[in-house]
Amino acid sequence: MPKLIVATGNPGKLHEMQAYLTDPVWELTLKPDTLDIEETGTTFLENAGLKASQVAKALGHWSIADDSGLEVAALDGAPGLFSARYGKTDDDRISRLLRELGDNPNRQARFVCAIALARPDGTIVLQTQGICPGEILTAPRGSKGFGYDPIFYVPAQGMTFAEMSPDIKHDISHRGRAFAELLPQLKTLEF
């Protein structure tokens, strides 16, 4: 079973990635907490590449990184690259976003997920990006997922990410769409 370091400290992301990486089955491991990677990129793809490359080089193993976030049209794309740092907790981030959006009628938003895969020497061999369009609700709904899931409504499904079963979210989310592009390419690589 190939070993793959997930360049994150977020167990939620590791759990979601494990659901996609089933053929072949990978041994996924979180990067050590002591290994901090500064996200200096100006796009999600750049940050995913930085994280995958630096973790791979530091640990000498294949590494996969995801950089994702929520872009809200009425906030000029904020929180964007700063989605995880928009507050100290998920509740703080949601409260801040709803406060800043206020009663603006433009609730259009999208989740973006960029994924990069790096060889043990840090060379990036694959990069993909997935986007899931939606809207921001005025109040949270649902109890599943993490992050902004309770306020991100997907009109095509008629529910928020936090209301969806894991199988539905797995298929239609930004991460699901990015992995749908990545997986066929991943199967062509030799490890």
**Catalytic site residues?**
67
* CA dist 190 → 3, 31, 48, 87, 185 (Å): 13, 22, 21, 40, 11
CB burial of 44-82 (b: ≥16 within 10 Å; e: otherwise) equals: bbbbbbbbbbbbbbbbebbbbbbbbbbbbbbbeebbbbe
Per the listing, tokens 């949270």 go with 140
